[in-house]
Structure 1
Amino acid sequence: MTMSKWTVDTAHSSIDFSVKHMMVSKVKGAFQQFSAVVEADPTNLETANIDFSIDVASIDTRNADRDNHLRSADFFDVEQYPTMTFKANKIVKTGEDEYNVTGDVTLHGVTREETFAVTFEGLAKDPMSGAEKIGFSANGKIKRSDYGLTWNAALETGGVLVGDEIKVAIEIEAAKEA
């Protein structure tokens, strides 16, 4: 195949995360509003251009009070830093449909290089629209302290309320642009 432009289908895609809570459990959440520019040859992602933008205020942890606290200056400070971005700058094939995608994550006014493990899930033709579709899964971890997100509370039993390591899981379905 050749390089094509792909539009992310947000109805069939997700950006989810989890973080340790009170050192004993995990809180999960998602960002509901995001967009991406993907230019890729699905048979060889090493030449792809991948650029994500996430509306940080769209955070959803299924608890309104917690979401509002996460939007505040204690955490994301969405008034000052409304967007989180990822721009790929190095893609290395690690297996048949496996890649390490390294790029710049910009969050809370800080830009750092991060690497995500990406699996190309396949190519199909949508029976409803006839459009060519591709799918990807990505997983990785970031440390919130690396981005200046350091709010926390000490626990009486030792440790902290909110973990530093954030696990990220992304599922993407995209349609080939005509």
Structure 2
Amino acid sequence: MAKQKWNVDVTHSGIDFSVKHMMFATVKGAFHKFDAEIEADLADLTTADIQFTVDLASVDTRNEDRDNHLRSADFFDVENHPTMAFKSTSITKTDENEYDVTGELTLNGVTNTETFAVTFEGQGKNPWGVEVAGFSGEGKVKRSDYGLTWNAALETGGVLVGDQIKISLQIEANPA
């Protein structure tokens, strides 16, 4: 099979994240607006080209005050840096249907190399006869690596917001 372009079905896909709050609790959130350009041969995903763009203003942690703070210059600074972007640079097969996808992640005007563990979940035809493919992925990034350093000290020691952000992807795609 040759490489082909795939469209991400945003209504059946998601980008979620979690971060430690007060050193012992976890806050979760999601980004609702994102786009991707994927060119892949499902028989050999190591040759795929992947680009993601996330609209940071679409952040949703189920708390409007916190979401507005995340959009501010203390965190994402969406006025000056409205998107987060990822472009794959290499893909390595690690096991059956398991891959390490390495690429350049740009956030807050800073670009670093990050690796995400991605699973090819399978493919099949939906009820309308369209071929679809499913993928899931996980990774961790340090927000301080991107200049996102706002925090508040706690009386008991430690800080309000953790540095490590866990990112989770669930993607359903169909041929372009």
Q: Same fold (TM over 0.5)?
A: yes
Q: CA RMSD of the aligned region, Å?
A: 0.5
Task: Quote the residue 2:52 is aligned against.
Answer: 52
Task: Quote the residue 1:173 is aligned against.
Answer: 172
C-alpha separation in 2, matches of 1:16 and 1:123: 22
C-alpha separation in 2, matches of 1:66 and 1:133: 36
Runs of 4+ that moved beyond 4 A: none
Task: Quote the residue 1:157 is aligned against.
Answer: 156
C-alpha separation in 2, matches of 1:44 and 1:118: 14
SS of corresponding position for 1:46: helix
SS of corresponding position for 1:152: coil
Task: Quote the residue 1:96 is aligned against.
Answer: 96
Letter in 2 for 1:122: G
Instruction: Name the TM-score, length of structure 2 as normaliser.
Output: 0.99
C-alpha separation in 2, matches of 1:13 and 1:2: 24
Offset of residue 176 of structure 1: 1.0
Question: How many residue pairs get matched?
Answer: 176
Specify every segment of 5 or more residues in structure 2 that has no aligned partner in the other structure, as ranges.
none
Task: Quote the residue 1:139 is aligned against.
Answer: 138
Offset of residue 24 of structure 1: 1.2
Task: Quote the residue 2:123 is aligned against.
Answer: 123
Percent identity over paired residues:
66
Offset of residue 148 of structure 1: 0.1
Instruction: Name the TM-score, length of structure 1 as normaliser.
Output: 0.98
2:78 paired with 1:78: yes
Specify every segment of 5 or more residues in structure 1 that has no aligned partner in the other structure, as ranges.
none
Offset of residue 100 of structure 1: 0.2
